[in-house]
Amino acid sequence: MVICTGNFFTNQPECKNEWESFIKRSGKIDVPVYILGPTSDGLDGYYGSKEDIEDGVEIFENILYLGQKGIFKTTSGVVISYLGGCASSGNYGVKKSHVNALLEQVKKDDKFCGVDILLTSAWPKDVMKQTKSEIEGPPSSALVSLIAATLKPRYHLTHCADNFFERTPYRNHQVLQGQQEHVSRFLSLAPFGNSRGEKAIYAISLQPISSMSHDELVKQPDNVTEFPYTEVLGIAMSSDDSKDEKPQQFFFDTNSNKRKHGNSNDNQAKRTPKGPPTLKGDCWFCLGSKNVEKHLVVSVGEQCYVAVAKGAINKDHILICPVQHHNSTVVAPDDVVMEMEKYKMGLRKMFKEEGKHMVTYERNFYTQHLQLQVIGIPAERSDEVKDTFVDFAEESVMELNEMPDDQDISQVVAPTTPYFVVELPSGQRLLHKVKGKMPLQFGREVLTSPSLLNLPDRIDWKECKLTLEEESEMTKKFRKRFQPFDFNLT
């Protein structure tokens, strides 16, 4: 992958001309390029709407604007966190609301031990403490220091308009105080093509933190320094870097000076651009959540569960969801994907005995938790499914492309790309990468159309709600149908 620090675009007229020329040439980029958003006036137009700037968008194939904040896991297992905004106040400054959303996100996993990469537009305040460097760093933000202290990145990447700077690695623990943790390395690149010859490219060979042993992870280099952000952690909770506020030691207990641990769900984020939104509070689909409607659950495996869809299209409409929080098939672990396939096999057999075929689709666009929608349709309507999806896609200005049979979706969709994918009764898959907007009820619109189920009044799930008693009875009936085909019971 390529990670771009600093602004990807400039305000110079030649930048716009070159970009437009590149798009017209239909240039190809073979590896994903991750970028952050604008930090000055005049650059917003490259990124689309205000909504796009907030949530992120694939601005060109394999050029992925991440959005304002988030954490996601690549298909290779590397966990990347990002936070946009410059150190100054105003429209383009680091926003406390974005920082709070990230902090809230990392409270969900008590096994959190850090991220592989943190990408920020702004420097963290006090990062140069305990170093001998004589360069003068750019304006810095205590809010970024707070994020760096919480996420404990192995590499913190940012930029500087004047110099290249590589800080001596620093500890994320205090010596002889608590458990030993890995070190963090701070890298700030100079602008690409700068006239001073300052370093603008840095290559990193990285083994994901999730695949390293604890002993290997926490090895301390000889030149490591102490944690640099202790004094600014209290300041970081203010909306700006006010000089009047005093440190309050948010991450170190003032009595014992022992490090407190933040929590994180490293798969969240793919918080993918345009969706899913940052997780706020308990997820409605995590099986351990207090919000999950367990009366809809049909079957529970080790990694996934089957549930009757809320506001189901018909009695043959159910969901396959991971038990834990994964927001798309692209980032879901292999064991989760494999168990989803096992459930699909059982459901396919059930529908076949009932004289039906099966359609499944996933919309990773304005969702938080992976939901694989499964719907049984009359076998005699199967031949109409592909043409109906294609026709509706054309009407909605969506590109539905056939996926190769031998490719997994994670091979053709980047972790931060929102998408819609449908698997036809034949097993063929059609994929749409969302680059702007798409109808949120697209899958239901197609399936309820006259050529398929002819249930036009069932397009909006909110108009199809049942009482608790009706939902419970519907679940009971589906469970009875599915039991002979449930691999958990055979």
Q: What is the pLDDT of residues 353-379, one digit of tens each?
A: 999 999 999 999 888 889 999 999 999
- Would you kindly state where each structural domain of the chain is located, as residue ranges? 2-237, 294-485
Give the span between the Cα atoms of 325 and 345, in whole angstroms: 23
Q: Kindly report, residue by residue over 373-412, the tens digit of the pLDDT.
A: 999 999 999 999 999 999 999 999 899 999 988 788 888 8
Give the span between the Cα atoms of 333 and 236, in whole angstroms: 35
pLDDT at 414 over 90: no
Cβ atoms of residues 354 and 375 within 8 Å? no
Instruction: Specify the pLDDT at position 104.
Output: 82
Helix (H) or strand (E) holding 451: none
- Tell me the CATH class for 2-237: alpha beta
Compute the half-sphere exposure of residue 237: CA atoms within 13 Å on the CB side of its CA: 12
What torsion, rounded to 10 degrees, do the Cα atoms 64, 69, 71, 75 define? 0
Cβ atoms of residues 117 and 153 within 8 Å? yes
Q: Token pair of 283, please? A: 């997820």
Give the span between the Cα atoms of 181 and 185, in whole angstroms: 13
Percent of the chain with pLDDT over 70: 88
Instruction: Specify the pLDDT at position 35.
Output: 95
Give the span between the Cα atoms of 57 and 66, in whole angstroms: 7
**Beta pairing partners, 63:** 33, 60
Q: Kindly report, residue by residue over 132-160, the tens digit of the pLDDT.
A: 887 888 999 999 999 999 999 999 999 99
Cβ atoms of residues 452 and 433 within 8 Å? no
Q: Kindly report, residue by residue over 55-107, the tens digit of the pLDDT.
A: 888 888 889 999 899 888 887 788 999 999 999 877 899 999 899 888 887 87
Give the span between the Cα atoms of 83 and 256, in whole angstroms: 31
Question: Tokens 């420097």 map to which residue?
Answer: 123
Split at pLDDT 50, 70, 90, the class of 279 is: very low
Give the span between the Cα atoms of 268 and 450, in whole angstroms: 38
Split at pLDDT 50, 70, 90, the class of 257 is: very low
pLDDT at 275 over 90: no
> Superfamily for 294-485?
HIT-like (3.30.428.10)
Give the span between the Cα atoms of 246 and 265, in whole angstroms: 30
Give the span between the Cα atoms of 314 and 346, in whole angstroms: 19
| Beta strands 117-120 and 155-159, pairing class | parallel
Give the span between the Cα atoms of 68 and 91, in whole angstroms: 12
Q: How many residues in total does the chain contain?
A: 490
Give the span between the Cα atoms of 424 and 443, in whole angstroms: 12
List the one residue out of 138, 75, 71 whose CA is nearest residue 109: 71
Instruction: Count CB-CB contacts under 10 A for residue 214.
Output: 11
- Per DSSP, 427 falls in state S
Average pLDDT over all residues of the chain: 85
Instruction: Specify the pLDDT at position 282.
Output: 59
Cβ atoms of residues 142 and 125 within 8 Å? yes
Instruction: Count CB-CB contacts under 10 A for residue 246.
Output: 9
Check: pTM over 0.75? Answer yes or no. Answer: no
